[in-house]
Structure 1
Amino acid sequence: MSGSFSTPTLSTEKTFTFYSQEQGNAYAQARPDYHPTLYQTIIDHHLDSNGQLETILDVGCGPGNVVRALSSHFNYAIGLDPSEGMLTTARSLGGTTSASGLIRYEVSTAEDLGTTLPQPILDESVDLITAANAAHWFDMSLFWASAARVLKPGGSVALWTSGRNRIHSSVPNAAAMQSALDEIEERHLRPFFEPGNLLTRSRYVDLPLPWALEQPIPEFDESAFFRKDWDVAEDFFAFQPEVNMDVFEKITSTASPVTRWREAHPDAVGTEKDVVRMLRRVIERHLHEAGVEKGKEKVKGAIHGVILIVKKKI
């Protein structure tokens, strides 16, 4: 494993794992879905490299947006997450497969991949494993071993992250605004970063891959490894509109360091001392300085994302 830290596991990650149904609902409403181009990139590469479309397994599925988006390509679809609150939200939102079956949602970790479920995920039964903005919480050694077990020969693992969100250059006063936001982040949020948060910022450069582990997983084909980077792309999320300040607060509130900061500062939540409110006020101030009228403040993010696709040998 490269890097100077070890990644936490979903079973020990405490922020999202213990989300309530209310938090799961808020997460689903605030987080944008991924762009159809991103999903099509995954499906196209999977098929072009001899993948099949029988069963998809989405790991760390949260409220289920990814498995719902991809389930129409597959006969069977399963979403796994350690948070019952997230899964309650996912079940309430539904979703069907190409065979008109319901998506199956189960409580399980990325390291187990459904081994201990009453209806376990069988060996060599899965065609595509996906994990969206989740792999940085996995114990990758255990995950890759389990993935090798459940994947069919020629199956794919697609992992992606949105990386570090920056202020888009089209936003008035963007450079000064970004500098001020970075200062608040460094002072207030940095102490609440976990190693997984740092992996997303490097766009998974240090995410342990199966052939680079201390004990490599030989079932995966290093020569077939695929990586696609997005640099301030417009087609990573389903939409990248300018959002008003209320929406900005809702989206920012779903970040795990913010959640941990608020747990440590409960009396500040919702007040002017709230870290999210601090970020909002910085944006508003810089927009006002650029001539934006009060009440018309909007901001747009610039995404630096990545997809990694790993193939199991045939």
Structure 2
Amino acid sequence: MSTSTIPSTTTAMASEKTFLAYTPSQGKVYAEARRDYHRSVYDAVLSYHTSGGGELDTLLDIGCGPGTATRRLGGHFEHAIGLDASAGMVETARTLGGTTATGEKIRFEVSTSDKLVEGDCCVDVIVAATAAHWFEMSSFWRRAAQVLRPGGSVALWCSGESSVHSSTPNAGAIQAALERIREEERLDDFFEEGNRLVRAGYVDLPLPWTVEPGVQGFERASFVRREWGFGDEFYAGQMEVDLDTFEKVLGTASPITRWREAHRDAVGSERDIVRRYRRAIETLLHEAGVQPGQERVRGAVTGVLLMVRRT
């Protein structure tokens, strides 16, 4: 792919409005709060692609957010482009930067149309990290089939269920308290279909052969679904955080953002849903003997990676 090719960007992500409206400052907070994926995720993508004879010329990351996955994978490719519908996210990604295997700067562009890039058969790998659940998948698969080179790969991944790790003091009581607050605040009312696809581990994410009409050009036999359980490392680093970090991370979740938009008078107060979570955790940790100022909670998540190859 010529580095002068300008991405005219991604398939429809119009179903997701929360991140689309992110400002650069919100994008910065998101980048600081969200953790990178474990090396095993990236290794799985690269191994799958190269084992089928795929080349490492051009990477395209759709819904790249602040560019975390683009940077990690882009270092293995000659060219890398990250696309996102949010100008705030793209500005953050550009600020953070990144280079490819050749030292070329990674390109980050705002997506505004139903195209991935200008031209066909020009991309080797398309990835979407915790983003595909917001796509209009019929359009995505049709355009992906056009822009991928023969032997190219698509890799889509996300985290799934989350829980309090059993090593956290009073873990069972904390988990029960979080679920009770979730019900009291009717947080599920602020889940969209994309959030539900994530919670279910992409079991129902439309694939080339399940969309209507079906999309030709992908090897169904090449399809791989890889899962990470609660005991596996889907994210990099330790899952144990202090409660300031807990609040910051949870505040970037789209259902929480939508809840806060509907309860503006509660934001930042003791009635804020995230603050209620925090106070419940603090109380139960103290009951278990944790001293004030030493409160930490460890989380556990599942993860899933879907991969398929272009014929």
What TM-score bracket applies, with the shorter chain setting the length?
over 0.9
Specify the alignment match of 2:137 in structure 1. 140
* SS in structure 2 of the partner of residue 50 of structure 1: coil
Q: Following the alignment from structure 1 to structure 2, what is the Cα–Cα distance between the partners of residues 159 and 109?
A: 21
Q: Following the alignment from structure 1 to structure 2, what is the Cα–Cα distance between the partners of residues 71 and 310?
A: 19
1:106 is displaced (CA, Å) by 1.0
8 Å CA contact retained: 1:82, 1:107? yes
Q: Following the alignment from structure 1 to structure 2, what is the Cα–Cα distance between the partners of residues 284 and 290?
A: 10
Q: Following the alignment from structure 1 to structure 2, what is the Cα–Cα distance between the partners of residues 55 and 9?
A: 22
Report Cα offsets for 1:108-143 as digits up to 9, x if no partner.
1684323xxxxx3x2010000000110111111111
Q: Following the alignment from structure 1 to structure 2, what is the Cα–Cα distance between the partners of residues 53 and 109?
A: 26
8 Å CA contact retained: 1:60, 1:110? no
Shift in CA distance, 241/213, structure 1 to aligned 2, threshold 3 Å: closer
1:235 is displaced (CA, Å) by 2.3
Specify the alignment match of 1:37 in structure 2. 40
Specify the alignment match of 1:69 in structure 2. 72
Alignment pair present for 1:282 and 2:280:
yes
Q: Following the alignment from structure 2 to structure 1, what is the Cα–Cα distance between the partners of residues 131 and 221?
A: 24
* SS in structure 1 of the partner of residue 37 of structure 2: coil
8 Å CA contact retained: 2:157, 2:305? yes
8 Å CA contact retained: 2:12, 2:139? no
Specify the alignment match of 2:148 in structure 1. 151
Alignment pair present for 1:16 and 2:19:
yes
Residue type of the alignment partner of 1:270:
G
Specify the alignment match of 2:183 in structure 1. 186
8 Å CA contact retained: 2:71, 2:98? yes
8 Å CA contact retained: 1:71, 1:96? yes
Specify the alignment match of 1:4 in structure 2. none
Specify the alignment match of 1:211 in structure 2. 209
Give me the TM-score of the superposition, normalised by structure 2. 0.94
Matched ranges for 1:1-314 at <5 A: 9-108=12-111, 111-114=114-117, 120=118, 122-188=119-185, 189-313=187-311
* SS in structure 2 of the partner of residue 152 of structure 1: strand
1:152 is displaced (CA, Å) by 0.6
* SS in structure 1 of the partner of residue 160 of structure 2: coil
1:198 is displaced (CA, Å) by 0.5
8 Å CA contact retained: 2:15, 2:135? no
8 Å CA contact retained: 2:234, 2:303? yes
1:185 is displaced (CA, Å) by 1.7
Q: Following the alignment from structure 1 to structure 2, what is the Cα–Cα distance between the partners of residues 90 and 254?
A: 16
Structure 2 segments unaligned to the other structure (5+ residues): 1-10
8 Å CA contact retained: 1:80, 1:105? yes
* SS in structure 1 of the partner of residue 209 of structure 2: helix
Report Cα offsets for 1:151-202 as digits up to 9, x if no partner.
1111100000111221111111111211111122233211111011010011
Q: Following the alignment from structure 1 to structure 2, what is the Cα–Cα distance between the partners of residues 202 and 14?
A: 21
8 Å CA contact retained: 1:231, 1:304? yes
8 Å CA contact retained: 1:110, 1:143? no
Structure 1 segments unaligned to the other structure (5+ residues): 1-7, 115-119
Report Cα offsets for 1:7-27 as digits up to 9, x if no partner.
x95123110011000000000
Q: Following the alignment from structure 2 to structure 1, what is the Cα–Cα distance between the partners of residues 310 and 180?
A: 43
* SS in structure 2 of the partner of residue 310 of structure 1: strand
Q: Following the alignment from structure 2 to structure 1, what is the Cα–Cα distance between the partners of residues 36 and 265?
A: 32
Shift in CA distance, 84/214, structure 1 to aligned 2, threshold 3 Å: same
Q: Following the alignment from structure 2 to structure 1, what is the Cα–Cα distance between the partners of residues 62 and 113?
A: 6
Root mean square deviation, CA, Å:
1.4
* SS in structure 2 of the partner of residue 16 of structure 1: coil
Report Cα offsets for 1:88-118 as digits up to 9, x if no partner.
000000100011111111111684323xxxx
Question: Structure 1: which 4+ aligned runs deviate by more than 3 Å?
Answer: none
Specify the alignment match of 2:6 in structure 1. none
Give me the TM-score of the superposition, normalised by structure 1. 0.93
Aligned length: 300
Report Cα offsets for 1:232-279 as digits up to 9, x if no partner.
144211113310000000000000001011111112111101111011
8 Å CA contact retained: 1:111, 1:139? no
